[in-house]
């Protein structure tokens, strides 16, 4: 692979193709799931809870560090919620 100035050796598209190729296997079809061979695993709620707490800590830290900019960002997200709701309701009928 040739490297030129300003172009990465591995692009996002290359990584995505390789990841999807690994996920579906060499035959191009997703691996078959047999319920007898692959019993449903019980998932622990610890990982999602820790993730949510870490995200909350990051948000609170950002608000404490720069309240004006943080509240502007949260306001933009709040403005987008009705747009998302309207968009999802109108396209759910399609």
Residue 13 · residue 21 · CB < 8 Å: no
pLDDT in tens, 25-56: 555 555 566 656 655 566 678 888 999 999 99
- Banded pLDDT at 21 (limits 50, 70, 90): low
pLDDT, tens digit, 9 for 90 and up, residues 48-85: 899 999 999 999 999 999 999 999 999 999 999 999 99
* Virtual torsion, Cα 42, 44, 48, 51, nearest 10 deg: -140
Contact yes or no for 23/17 (Cβ under 8 A): no
Indicate whether 8 pLDDT > 80: no
pLDDT given for residue 39 in this prediction: 56
pLDDT grade, residue 89 (50/70/90)? confident
Secondary structure, 3-state, 28-60 = CCCCCCCCCCCCCCCCCCHHHHHHHHHHHHHHH
pLDDT of 53 reads: 97
């Amino acid at each position: 692979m040739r490297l030129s100035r300003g172009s990465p050796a591995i692009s996002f598209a290359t990584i995505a193709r390789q990841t999807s190729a690994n996920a579906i296997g060499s035959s191009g079809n997703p691996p078959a799931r047999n319920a007898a061979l692959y019993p449903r695993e019980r998932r622990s709620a610890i990982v999602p809870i820790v993730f949510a707490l870490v995200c909350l800590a990051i948000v609170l830290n950002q608000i404490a560090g720069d309240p004006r900019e943080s509240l502007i960002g949260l306001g933009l997200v709040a403005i987008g919620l009705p747009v998302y709701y309207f968009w999802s309701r109108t396209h759910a009928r399609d």
